[in-house]
Amino acid sequence: MPDALVTVLAGFILTTVVGGLLGYFFQQRSWSHQHRVESAARQRERAVELFDELSRLLDRRLYRMRRLFWSLVNDGEEVPSDASRERMADYVSVLYDWNDSINRNLALLQRYFGRSLRDRLDNEVGVLQRELGEELESLWNGRSRLAEGSSVEERFNLLADLIYEFNVDMITSIQQGDLGTRRVAG
């Protein structure tokens, strides 16, 4: 009888230890998977928030620039009209919003969408925005006048296309889950 008791006791201990270790292993694995899923969901939420913020800001800036341009064109050689003054104030307001968060937005853009999209915003979209902004300020200050057949409207259309493509690429990254730490450096 003592051999049977030792066998049962050893079996019980081994089963308990092995069962406990297996349970621990599978629980850790489950928690790890759950953490990855929750982390990816949070990352996606933050990327969507950034997309929403940047997209709206880009569109607001473009539209305010266009409204100011159209108003200045209508003013012709005259001193800026009240409508132009109002539109300049709107443009300056959105420009402050843009500049107040530019470095934060660029850093977050690189974090969630990669260097390639960050560089496109800064070196393509941003360059054209700055060029058009300088031209608007020159028109506003009377330092320049539009030449016949000016390409400013074409450049606004180009900027709109760049912004649209940029937005589509951000949405595509979100839809494909190509974000943050899962993103291949670009």
Task: Please report the pLDDT score of residue 142 as a whole number.
Answer: 79
> Is residue 9's pLDDT more than 50?
yes
Residue 1's pLDDT band (cuts 50, 70, 90): low
- The four Cα atoms 170, 174, 178, 183 give a dihedral, to 10 degrees, of 60
Task: Please report the pLDDT score of residue 34 as a whole number.
Answer: 79
Count H helices and E strands in the chain, helices first: 6, 0
pLDDT tens, residue by residue, 53-94: 999 999 999 999 999 999 998 887 777 889 999 999 999 999
Average pLDDT of the chain? Answer: 87
pLDDT tens, residue by residue, 154-174: 999 999 999 999 999 999 999
Q: For residues 135 and 141, what is the distance between their CA atoms, to the nearest angstrom?
A: 10
